[in-house]
Structure 1
Amino acid sequence: MSSLFPTFCAQLRVTSPVIRENGMIPLQYTCDGVNINPALDIEAVPPGTKSLAIIMEDLDATGDVFVHWVAWNIPVVRHICEARKMEAPGFNDFHVSEYKGPCPPYGTHRYIFKVYALDSLLAMSRHTAADLEEAMSGHIIGFGQLMARYKRR
């Protein structure tokens, strides 16, 4: 974990009813399908959490990570529904403010769904993953992730 995180940060348990850890992402959540976000389950959210944030990245993109999904000020929930419209969506690396699923140009890529528990709502004027990370600094009280893979057919 980077300097974004305080010395102590609660461990969230992030799972999905449709994606196993290190499993394959089903077609409907990718550019080859309907391209909607998968459902996520979040357990062990620490007391004092005021909002959640999500960043989904392709870890195997050429050059650097590629951001597919950015959202914050999500109400404290234990389940994020499939195809959920977010309260505060940010711009991904496709330059749109919505979920855009895996669409690797070659091979099998790894995707990580990072979920943050925050001690406040965030007021942001810019809306990228980097902006979100900057705004979250000092507000993260919990973190968890789910890693999965996808290869185009």
Structure 2
Amino acid sequence: MKKSNLIIGLLITLSSTVFSQNTFTLSSNDLGGEATINEVFNGFGCTGENQSPQLSWKNAPEGTKSFAVTMYDPDAPTGSGWWHWLVFDIPVNAKELVSGAGNTALNLTPEGAIQSITDYGANGYGGPCPPEGHGLHQYIITVYALKTDKLGLNESTNPAVVGYYLWNNTLAKASIVTYYQRNKK
């Protein structure tokens, strides 16, 4: 009886320790299950507001020296997906990107952060705008905890190169997925 009580006590202690650990988490006050007209691109036939969503993160792993944020559509009919947003060299003390931070003219990103070129051919945020009638597309927004304070890239760096540097420097990442479809008119 004492042995089984000891085992049960150890299991309870172990499970409470495992399940109470803080995990690296990304959240948004703006996003729900589907993107809205606020986030949708304004161009390519879409008439949205092209406003990047508010994002916040917590519980970065030990050793984190900076952050990066990306938004990617794996469902784009390109053979390689579509990069909608790439922000890197976000200082380690930053825990949020405010709504609209993807508009480079507003200077709303933390000091030192770089927004590189997207598949739209422009810097900053470019919202969802899938082809008409192509069905639901998923938009994966990811925050990366990085082991370096700077990637050594600039605002002209293409998404594939940014992705390679992120892959080489990631300690942890957390994502939110939102969806959007454009119906035929």
Q: TM-score range by the shorter chain?
A: 0.7 to 0.9
Residue 55 of structure 1 is matched in structure 2 by: 70
Residue 80 of structure 1 is matched in structure 2 by: 97
| Larger RCO, structures 1/2 (Cα 8 Å, 6+ apart) | 1
**For the residues of structure 2 that align with 1:143 and 1:36, how far apart are their CA atoms?**
23
Shift of 1:111: 0.5
> Stretches of 4+ moved more than 3 A in 1?
none
Please give the per-residue CA displacement for 1:47-96, whole angstroms capped at 9, x wherever unaligned: 22111111211121103311111110012322210111442111111111
**For the residues of structure 1 that align with 2:23 and 2:121, how far apart are their CA atoms?**
31
**For the residues of structure 2 that align with 1:129 and 1:117, how far apart are their CA atoms?**
18
Any residues of structure 2 matched to 1:11-90 within 5 Å, and which? 12-20=24-32, 23-31=33-41, 32-62=47-77, 63-76=79-92, 77-84=94-101, 85=107, 86=109, 87-90=113-116
TM-score by length of 2: 0.70
Structure 1 gaps, min length 5:
1-9
RMSD (Å), alpha carbons: 1.9
Please give the per-residue CA displacement for 1:92-146, whole angstroms capped at 9, x wherever unaligned: 1111111000011132211000111111121125512211122234321111111
Residue 127 of structure 2 is matched in structure 1 by: 101
Q: Give me the identity figure in percent.
A: 29
Residue 4 of structure 2 is matched in structure 1 by: none
Paired AA for residue 97 in structure 1:
N
Indicate which of 138, 143, 149 corresponds to 1:110.
138
Residue 3 of structure 1 is matched in structure 2 by: none
Aligned residue pairs total 142
**For the residues of structure 1 that align with 2:96 and 2:88, how far apart are their CA atoms?**
15
TM-score by length of 1: 0.83
Residue 161 of structure 2 is matched in structure 1 by: 131
